[in-house]
Amino acid sequence: MKLTTAGESHGKALVGIIEGLPSNLKIDVEEIDYYLALRQSGYGRGDRQRIEKDAVEIISGVRNRLTLGSPLAFAVKNNDYENWREVIAPEGADTTRRRLTKVRPGHADLTGVLKYDQTDARNVLERASARETAARVVGGSIARQYLKVLGVEISGYVKSVGNVVDPHIYGFKRILEAKKSPLFMLDGKKEQEAKRLLDGLKENGDTAGGIIEIRVKGLKRGFGSCMQYATKLDAILCGAMMSVQAIKGIEVGLGFEAARLEGSKVHDEIYYNGDYFRKTNNAGGIEGGMSNGEEIVLRAAMKPIPTLMKGLKTVDISTNESAEAASERSDVAAVCAAEIILESVVAFVLADVVSQRLGGDNMREVLERYRALR
């Protein structure tokens, strides 16, 4: 499967094309919109979320809620485009207005301006913006529906916000409850502490990051390969997760903790009782680049959003003089959005890996082949 996206933050829409979907996959548009709404939720989000009420429009590839096997095209309209039409319209715009030359540290502004030979960072930031991820949530939500037919579930929660960390380990069923909380955290006391932290940061014009844990349940063993470095499941997953804006680090299973422990406390011993199993899951469900049948456990570190209300020191590229970085409409924290986006990215990667192994032009073939696996 392949997902191609296009669109700018304040352009007409975010659009995408998914290639490689089998026919007769039932598409639940309401479920896609549910995840789009979750992407816009969460304590600490900014004013943009009050303007946009994201909803997907399926343009092609589906008839009567079933995929046809042809490319599926979709769009998510940007309501804010009407407020920006005069300065961003592709048919003609006043590019002297809303120019951004006081480039923001930590963003794509300066490097993008130099790479693409621009004099206005808006020509870079509009695509670099995390608004782009609305399209990836649509693609991931469709992939999630493909995986659900096979019995594969994906969920996650926010493990930390700033320096407020939830140290507990939760079962998959408990994690499913995280979306009911304002910060997708499962420890109520820690969540209240995190909210107070965000309130203080907002007052000071600052931002916070956090750590998100993603879990996958029900994927059978043998997806991914040890035969080529580019086909290792953990490499593919980590690469896709790192492609999400503001993600700066990924852990699989124990992650960095494995480097601090003896091997006898890291590697999961193997048992047999009619089938092979492990009593621990320090490997996070992946060994030798392949799924081993246990839950896949991934954690992502998200840096604080680089657009601060109280700008950092920078340079105005129109004069090369010192300046205070420009401030765009921003969030104090977007860890909840990142959690949904990461679930979506993981879903699409897994759907692609599964489809590569199973093939199948229609969902009946896919399901039969998956059931035939041990």
Answer for the pair 61, 17: CB distance below 8 angstroms, yes or no: no
SS3 333: coil
50: its two tokens: 């009050």
For 78, the enclosing helix (H) or strand (E) is none
pLDDT along the chain (374 residues), means of 10: 96 97 98 96 71 89 98 96 93 93 94 97 95 97 98 98 96 95 96 96 92 98 96 97 97 96 96 94 97 97 88 93 81 94 98 97 97 91
* DSSP bridge partners of 58: 74
The DSSP code for 223 is: -
For 298, the enclosing helix (H) or strand (E) is strand 296-302
Whole-number Cα distances in Å, 174 to 20, 144, 184, 255, 275: 34, 19, 12, 22, 27
Distance from C-alpha of 287 to C-alpha of 281, rounded to nearest angstrom: 10
Region for 165 from its dihedrals, namely left if φ exceeds 0, alpha if ψ lies in -120 to 50, beta otherwise: beta
What would you report as the CA-atom Rg of the chain, rounded to the nearest whole angstrom? 22
Q: Identify the pLDDT of residue 326.
A: 79
Q: Which residues of 232-257 are buried (b: 16+ CB within 10 A; e: fewer)?
A: bbbbbbbebbeebbbbeebbbbbbee
Distance from C-alpha of 236 to C-alpha of 251, rounded to nearest angstrom: 13
Q: Identify the pLDDT of residue 50.
A: 57
Phi, psi of 253 (to 5 degrees): 60, -130
Q: Identify the pLDDT of residue 78.
A: 94
Please enumerate in sequence order all residues whose Cβ is within 8 A of that of 310, keeping only pairs 6 or more positions apart, or say none: 204, 205, 206, 327
Distance from C-alpha of 15 to C-alpha of 3, rounded to nearest angstrom: 10
Distance from C-alpha of 152 to C-alpha of 356, rounded to nearest angstrom: 16
Distance from C-alpha of 27 to C-alpha of 71, rounded to nearest angstrom: 14
Q: Identify the pLDDT of residue 198.
A: 95
Region for 79 from its dihedrals, namely left if φ exceeds 0, alpha if ψ lies in -120 to 50, beta otherwise: alpha
Answer for the pair 307, 333: CB distance below 8 angstroms, yes or no: no
191: its two tokens: 């969540």
* DSSP bridge partners of 13: 77
Residues 78-99: pLDDT tens digits? 999 999 999 999 999 999 999 9
Q: Identify the pLDDT of residue 46.
A: 66
Q: Identify the pLDDT of residue 287.
A: 97
The DSSP code for 101 is: -
Residues 129-163: pLDDT tens digits? 999 999 999 999 999 999 999 999 999 999 999 99
Residues 2-55: pLDDT tens digits? 999 999 999 999 999 999 999 999 999 999 999 999 999 988 876 555 566 899
- Give the residue among 229, 206, 233, 186 at the shortest CA–CA distance from 349: 233
Answer for the pair 302, 247: CB distance below 8 angstroms, yes or no: yes
Q: Identify the pLDDT of residue 324.
A: 92
